[in-house]
Amino acid sequence: MSNTQAKLSISKASKIFGKDRKTISSYIAKGKLSCETNEQGHKLIDFSELRRVYGEPKNKPNAVSSPSPVGNNEENPQHSPPISAPHLQVQISMLEQQIDDLRKDKEEGLRREQELREIIKNQTLLLEDKRTQQPKSTIPAKVLWVFLPVCVIITATPFIAWLVLNFLKQ
């Protein structure tokens, strides 16, 4: 963050924070918002003080006025006048805050990704291959082939006997 805090007039503060000028003035009068008076008698409020009382700005500073390109207005008459120094300080402080927030988000995301990769690795190690654990028969296959014809003969014998008796009766 810059070494010098951004100081805003009541008008600029009302535009940036979306508050009425009278509301800001009444907060100053009630002592809810501190301010300084410059040599010309204008009240200036620290951006951090406005953020403390009103939270994050409703209108980003670049929405209030757009920066003009490098050069003066005589060279670029179609562009708006340059932004004031306090306004630039507000923009810088907001951008620095956004950068810090993004860095924190990135670090948190990388940390979380590493945690999830570790969880996946541990869970993968716990998996069992169900295909190799087929139930094994207690009776060998060769024995089944020996008993199969015997079983067929035993079950078919009553039927064959019935057929023979019926054939003989005729």
| Residue 62 included in any domain | yes
Of the candidates 83, 81, 17, 9, which has an alpha carbon nearest to the alpha carbon of residue 41? Answer: 9
| Residue 12 included in any domain | yes
Dihedral sign from CA coordinates of 61, 31, 25, 19: positive
| Residue 162 included in any domain | no
Where are any strands of DSSP class E within 3-159? Answer: 7-9, 36-37, 43-46
Q: Per-residue pLDDT tens, the chain, 170 aa: give them.
A: 443 568 889 988 888 888 899 999 999 999 999 999 989 888 999 888 888 898 888 776 544 443 333 344 444 444 455 566 777 888 888 888 888 889 999 999 999 999 999 999 988 888 877 666 566 666 666 766 777 777 777 887 888 888 888 887 76
Give me the CATH number covering residue 103. 1.10.1660
Range of the domain at 38: 7-66+80-109
d(CA 151, CA 140): 16
